[in-house]
Amino acid sequence: MIVQILSHTPIWVYALFFVLLVFGLIQTRTRTVSKIPALLLPVGMIALSLAGINSSFGLTTLPLAAWGMAMAIATVVGYTFFRDKRIHCEATDGKFFMPGNWVPLVVMMAIFFTKYVYAVMKAFDAEVISTPMFIGALSAVYGLLSGYFSSRAVNLIKLAQ
């Protein structure tokens, strides 16, 4: 069954996987990054998460509310308790010193595979995917994962001030 699922997966999905993998692996290396590129990854991953909501359920009240609340909670908790205090903004050139970190790769893959599993369930016409409980729960998962990136963006913005 896995071979059948993989053989019916569109090529662009594999391309997206490899792009996310490369961007995630870049995050594992210590680097100095300009402000705009540093914020592009969080913005892009939040957009990918929201696109997952849109393509799965549409931008309707239940999925948007679950996604937004979960992302807000994860942002506050992430920034307050789990922000990477090793990141700092260089005063001379305004660039961020970002130590290598495996968490962004893990979160990117979690967003990707959450969307992929949903697509497989939809292809198999799983009835559960149309229930309000599932819609709310999956939307909240996307929101929690996006909260990692939004808390990272908040941290970067605060450091740049």
- Burial (Cβ within 10 Å: 0-12, 13-18, ≥19) of residue 2: exposed
The full DSSP string for the chain is -HHHHHHTS-HHHHHHHHHHHHHHHHHTS-EEE-HHHHHHHHHHHHHHHHHHHHHHH-S-HHHHHHHHHHHHHHHHHHHHHS--TT-EE-TTT-PEEE---SHHHHHHHHHHHHHHHHHHHHHTT-GGGGSHHHHHHHHHHHHHHHHHHHHHHHHHHHHH-
CA distance 93 to 35: 10
pLDDT at residue number 1: 83
Q: Please say if the pLDDT value at position 10 is more than 90.
A: yes
Q: Is the pLDDT of residue 67 over 90?
A: yes
Instruction: Quickly state the pLDDT bin for 87 (edges 50, 70, 90).
Output: very high
Find how far residue 76's CA is from the centre of its chain.
16
pLDDT of res. 96 = 95
**Mind listing the pLDDT tens digit for each residue in 133-145?**
999 999 999 999 9
pTM: 0.89
* pLDDT above 70: percentage of residues in the chain: 100
